[in-house]
Structure 1
Amino acid sequence: MYFLIWGFLVWLGATLIFRFFGHFFFHPENALLLLLSYLLVVPVIALLTYPLYKLKDLTKEERLKAAMFIALPGMFIDTVVLVIFPDVFTNLPVQSDRYFGSWLLWAYSLILITGLPLKKREGGDK
């Protein structure tokens, strides 16, 4: 339950950021900003997941479950949000919905990847 709540809070925070500041990230005419938004989410996702896994002292199997539970709330909610994109993200041009949707898939994929083992360790399963 902890990771579902964390996932919801991450989704809420990201949605509020893009609701009010999304025009800085998802403007179809500005390829550099689009590229930066894809690149900058990599360390952000790492900061939102890896320290939490360490804090909770999760095993490999638990990390994968935690990553899924972190990603699920946003994935479910964003299926609706993307349908009503112009109403939620009033500061973004409607044409940016495809870039935003693509970015969401990228971000959720990154969350799921954080649940995979980084490297094989000898003598333990953490």
Structure 2
Amino acid sequence: MVYFPLFGTSLWLIATLIFRAFGTNLLDVERPIVLVALFAAVPIMAIPLLPALKRIPVDKRLPGTVLIALPGMLLDIFSLIFHESVFPALDPQQITLLAAWLLWAYGIIISCGFIKKQFTPKS
């Protein structure tokens, strides 16, 4: 579980760079299909998290997912406060959509910690 905060920080950095570079296209209210796809893609993007969860006991999954989400949540406080510098191309309406997407993404990450199924290794 030691690497979970590093994994979360990496996810935050990748998402921040993607929204800095492509946010005006991804968060365009004139293209609602793109917005719906962006929000629908979040559960799909959680799939890489599942192999890591398989390796930890059920009782440690929720703390693990919190350790993944927490660094990004803390860093996003500052990236959203200073959005004019971090996301200079995004207008205030797009920043609101970005904040909603971030809340949705962190919620999905943390909810993965509630998976109680015990995975058994295949031999």
TM-score w.r.t. structure 1 length?
0.85
Question: Which structure 2 residue ranges, 5 or more long, are not aligned?
Answer: 119-123
Match for residue 61 of structure 2 among 55, 60, 63: 63
Alignment partner of 1:107 is 2:98: no
Q: Give the match's secondary structure for 1:29.
A: coil
Distance 1:52 1:42 in 2: 16
Q: Give the match's secondary structure for 1:82.
A: helix
Alignment partner of 1:95 is 2:93: yes
User: Which residue of 2 is the match for residue 52 of structure 1?
Assistant: 52
- How many equivalent residue pairs? 117
User: Which residue of 2 is the match for residue 124 of structure 1?
Assistant: none
User: Which residue of 2 is the match for residue 17 of structure 1?
Assistant: 18
Aligned residue type for 2:34: L
User: Which residue of 1 is the match for residue 32 of structure 2?
Assistant: 31
Partners of 1:46 and 1:114 within 8 A in 2: no
1:35-90: CA deviation from partner (whole Å, max 9, x where unpaired): 1110011101222x101222xx2111111111000000000110111111122112
1:76-113: CA deviation from partner (whole Å, max 9, x where unpaired): 11011111112211232232111110000000000001
Percent identical pairs in the alignment equals 35
Aligned residue type for 2:98: F
Distance 2:15 2:76 in 1: 11
Let me know the Cα RMSD of the aligned residues: 1.4
